[in-house]
Amino acid sequence: MVVAQQKELPLIVGAGPVGLAAALFLARGGVRVRIVERRSHPSVESRALAVNPRTMEILEPTGVTEKMLERGVRIHGGQFRFGSKHSGEISFDGIHPRYPFMLALSQAVTEKLLEEALEAAGGRVERNVELTSCRNETGCVEVVLRGNEEPAELRSAANYGAEPSSEYLAAERSSAGSTESYVCPWMLGADGAHSRARETVGLSFDGSSVDREWYLADVPLETSLDEERAQIWFLDDGGFVFCIRVVADKREESAGPKLWRVIANLPNPISLLPDSKQAGPPVWESKFKVAHRIAERLQKGRVFLAGDAAHIHSPIGARGMNLGIEDAWVFSQLVSRGEMDRYDLLRRPVDEKVVRSIRRLTWMARGESAGSRFIRTHIAPHLLEVQSFRESAIRIGTGLDHPIGI
């Protein structure tokens, strides 16, 4: 079934943190939009754990920052071990007048708070709606959306691993087949790294990926590690381990072992932890490959890209979600001023510079070449003592490496 409609509301595709933030900033600025999401339910994954001062600053007027602060744990700096010989420390003291710290908070909670704020501002996410294609026409975008409604029976069968019945498959086919043709004045693709918006308007996503897999575990630990510091270990033979607290709501945490995120570019990351004992099964384990890519442009006609749809990089530096929320803020300001056509010019150089810095840091952290291992073990510990270098590294890690003027 194809339903052709002429509508006026602009469209945001994807209700991850970036799409939600864009819809929220726009709603608060009096701009009504439609926001669609292909998944049936909010995300439960902890993915982005570190919220940076820039994000706290731009979300402050929405009331979301205050709620984040009530729930998250403040990370005041980082502790490094460079092989077995050297160690070092950085402190975030004084980096920001109100937020001189990073905030450890699960991405699922950040998304929930953004969605609640969006609803309070009069917006609503339409779930089970997927963008299948979009096309620039004169002064507007023609979009095809598909309903992905799962029948209730299907959901319960899937939950219990049962074989679906034939009625149930028929119901799935009829609801999943409904499509809608929608015409809107502009569209923001915030639909993640495999963006359909980017693909169907024909924008390339240039860059490279790292061959070796990275490993992640969110696991309860008995440990003497300082929970208010990120922990970074560069191992003698190459490889790294990164460790930070996983927090959904500090007010509800029990007194026992706390949950930590361990990321390494070697298998069995938990076995690589010093001073720590695993206190239960991991609540999330994953393997992934990192890539550093940026879209050739962030605007084509009336289609715009933000967040992972526009740029991806390794989780080192904790920038992905934070940078995407900043894209959303800049975009919304330009919409309010009627200056959307400045978006690519203003934003792409900033995003490109961040992807470049993170790619360099990731090369060093991976320690897969003799050169990078030498820098990590023998040069980095001394550079960290040099104030200008230390301050520049802190600015990259906290998202304060560029002004946010528009």
Ligand X SMILES: Cc1cc2nc3c(=O)[nH]c(=O)nc-3n(C[C@H](O)[C@H](O)[C@H](O)COP(=O)(O)OP(=O)(O)OC[C@H]3O[C@@H](n4cnc5c(N)ncnc54)[C@H](O)[C@@H]3O)c2cc1C
Is residue 107 a contact residue for ligand X (CB under 6 A)?
Answer: yes
Contacting residue, 131, 188, 235, 259, with ligand X by CB under 6 A: 131
What is the rounded distance in angstroms from the CA atom of residue 335 to the CA atom of residue 209? 33
Q: Are strands 125-127 and 34-37 parallel, antiparallel or unpaired?
A: parallel
The nearest distance, CB 202 to ligand X, in angstroms, is 16
The nearest distance, CB 207 to ligand X, in angstroms, is 15
Is residue 393 a contact residue for ligand X (CB under 6 A)?
Answer: no
Paired tokens of 266:
């070697």
Residue closer to ligand X, measured from CB, 18 or 273: 18
Radius of gyration over every alpha carbon of the chain, rounded to an integer in angstroms: 22
Contacting residue, 12, 23, 105, 216, with ligand X by CB under 6 A: 216
Is residue 351 a contact residue for ligand X (CB under 6 A)?
Answer: no
Is residue 295 a contact residue for ligand X (CB under 6 A)?
Answer: no
Contacting residue, 10, 11, 16, 230, with ligand X by CB under 6 A: 16
Q: Are 207 and 292 in contact (CB under 8 A)?
A: yes
* b/e code 78-109 from CB counts within 10 Å (16+ = b): bbbbbbeebebebebeebbeebbbbbbbbbbb
Residue closer to ligand X, measured from CB, 273 or 309: 309
Q: Which stretch binds ligand X (CB under 6 A): 93-101, 247-255, 317-325, 331-339?
A: 317-325
Closest CA to 68 of 288, 325, 303, 297: 325
Is residue 15 a contact residue for ligand X (CB under 6 A)?
Answer: yes
Is residue 308 a contact residue for ligand X (CB under 6 A)?
Answer: yes
Is residue 18 a contact residue for ligand X (CB under 6 A)?
Answer: yes
Q: Are 54 and 326 in contact (CB under 8 A)?
A: yes
Contacting residue, 324, 367, 381, 397, with ligand X by CB under 6 A: 324
Residue nearest to ligand X (CB): 16
Closest CA to 229 of 257, 254, 260: 260
Q: Which stretch binds ligand X (CB under 6 A): 161-169, 267-275, 303-311, 385-393?
A: 303-311
Is residue 77 a contact residue for ligand X (CB under 6 A)?
Answer: no
Contacting residue, 62, 231, 276, 322, with ligand X by CB under 6 A: 322
Is residue 19 a contact residue for ligand X (CB under 6 A)?
Answer: yes
Q: Is the dihedral of CA 164, 168, 174, 175 positive or negative?
A: negative
- Interacting residues with ligand X between 166 and 205 (CB under 6 A): 190-192, 196
The total number of residues written for the chain in this structure: 406
Q: In the stretch 48-67, what mask flags binding to ligand X with x, by CB under 6 A?
A: xxx-----------------
Residue pointed to by tokens 């390494």: 264
Is residue 360 a contact residue for ligand X (CB under 6 A)?
Answer: no
The nearest distance, CB 25 to ligand X, in angstroms, is 14
Closest CA to 218 of 269, 169, 174: 269
Is residue 292 a contact residue for ligand X (CB under 6 A)?
Answer: no
Q: Are 288 and 214 in contact (CB under 8 A)?
A: yes
Residues 6 or more apart whose Cβ sits within 8 Å of residue 166: none
Is residue 318 a contact residue for ligand X (CB under 6 A)?
Answer: yes
Is residue 307 a contact residue for ligand X (CB under 6 A)?
Answer: yes
The nearest distance, CB 148 to ligand X, in angstroms, is 9
DSSP-derived letter for residue 252 is: G
CB atoms within 10 A of CB 387: 8
How many residues bind to ligand X according to rule CB under 6 A? 33
Paired tokens of 111:
């998304």
Q: How far is CA 159 from the centre of its chain?
A: 27
Is residue 359 a contact residue for ligand X (CB under 6 A)?
Answer: no
Contacting residue, 47, 258, 347, 366, with ligand X by CB under 6 A: 47
DSSP-derived letter for residue 275 is: T
Contacting residue, 123, 220, 320, 397, with ligand X by CB under 6 A: 320
Closest CA to 301 of 196, 188, 146: 188
Paired tokens of 166:
């034939």
Q: Which residues bind ligand X (CB under 6 A)?
A: 13-19, 36-39, 47-50, 107, 130-131, 190-192, 196, 216, 307-309, 315, 318-322, 324
